[in-house]
Amino acid sequence: MVNEASGLGTGQLPDKEGQMYAIPLDGFYMIPTAEVPITNIYRNVIVNADQFPIKHAGYSECFRREAGSYGKDVRGLNRLHEFSKVEIVVIEHPDRSYERLEEMKKHVGGLLDKLGLPYRILKLCGGDISFTSAMTFDFEVWSGAQQRWLEVSSVSNFEAFQANRMKLRFKDSDGKMKLAHTLNGSALALPRIVAALLENNQTPDGIIMPECLRPYLGFEKIS
């Protein structure tokens, strides 16, 4: 749970209050992503420039109302009110934030490569990105059952938008106080990844698990 100030700091409020579960009596909201509490660690903080890049990863339950989502396409693992997700968050110097965005893209793509899943990367147009983001890339995996692409990750550079709201600053080499840049990405949304693994790895002998997962699973296939 986070308070209203945290939601305002990262831009979920007042834009997405209709999608968030609220607890009005206590003034709390259930988090839609670990981005919110992680980034707010740096609310009203002045960081040292030599700390960049500041990297965090968080694994959490996420809660979304999915208001306005109806029909057969939202059943099953497509859209859930509660799901698990790994989130990566970076605080970076403004001069290097887009270099960091490319690094985050490669990281997420590397995860999907190791899992052996067919995927594509979309650079979103201005009308599709959130009002908080300066640039966003979506990662989509192929769903054989639904015969369409499903988003499993989104990496974004918010530039100084969140930092300005949270007063996240640093003192640059010229001695001036400046706003940092914030970035975040999903790595990965687990329910859809599980579905993609089950759908894309079917053989006559069973569902073959990716080699990178076998040490953790303790088996090679689901018969």
User: Which one of the listed residues 100, 165, 169, 192 is annotated catalytic?
Assistant: 192
Residues near 52 by Cβ (< 8 Å), separated by ≥ 6? Answer: 91, 92, 93, 96, 170, 180
Of 153, 161, 87, which Cα lies nearest the Cα of 131?
161
Among 97, 133, 153, 154, which one carries the catalytic annotation? 154
Query: Vertex 6, ends 129 and 43: CA angle to 5°?
Result: 100
Q: In 3-state terms, what secondary structure has residue 14? A: coil
Which residue of the set 35, 64, 153, 159 is catalytic?
Answer: 64
The yes-or-no answer on residue 153 being catalytic is: no
75 is catalytic: no
CB 177 within 8 A of CB 170: yes
Question: Do 160 and 179 touch, CB atoms closer than 8 A?
Answer: yes
- Spatial distance between the Cα atoms of 31 and 219, rounded to a whole number of angstroms: 34
Q: Is 94 helix (H, G, I), strand (E, B) or coil?
A: helix
154 annotated active-site: yes
Closest CA to 153 of 114, 184, 197: 184
Quick check: is 169 catalytic? no
- Give catalytic status of residue 151 as yes or no: yes
Q: Which of 4, 103, 151, 199 is catalytic?
A: 151
Catalytic residue among 60, 79, 103, 199: 79
Catalytic residues: 64, 79, 151, 154, 192
